[in-house]
Amino acid sequence: MVHFSRIYYIIIIIIIITTATIIIIIITITIISSFSSSSPSFSFSSSSSSSSSSPSSSTS
């Protein structure tokens, strides 16, 4: 049953990496849009629902 814990660690790492990349992509899109259009009302960063539901119960 040690393999299952390793699989869970790999899944948690993949979830953290994917959420980090999504957040970076959203930040870059908002920066590019804010530089391209100087209107502050075009900030669609509120629609970025980054639900980082990474379980902190890491059983060693």
- Judge whether 36 lies within some domain: no
In whole angstroms, give the CA distance from residue 9 to residue 18: 14
- Judge whether 23 lies within some domain: yes
* pLDDT over 90 (residue 39): no
Q: What is the mean pLDDT of the chain?
A: 72
Instruction: Quote the pTM value.
Output: 0.48
- Judge whether 44 lies within some domain: no
22 and 50 in contact (C-beta within 8 Å)? yes
- Judge whether 16 lies within some domain: yes
Confidence of residue 2 (pLDDT cuts 50, 70, 90): low
- Judge whether 33 lies within some domain: no
Sequence-ordered list of residues with C-beta below 8 angstroms from that of 5, at least 6 positions apart, any chain: 59
Overall number of domains in the chain = 1
Q: What is the pLDDT of residue 49?
A: 42
Q: Show the domain range for 6.
A: 1-27
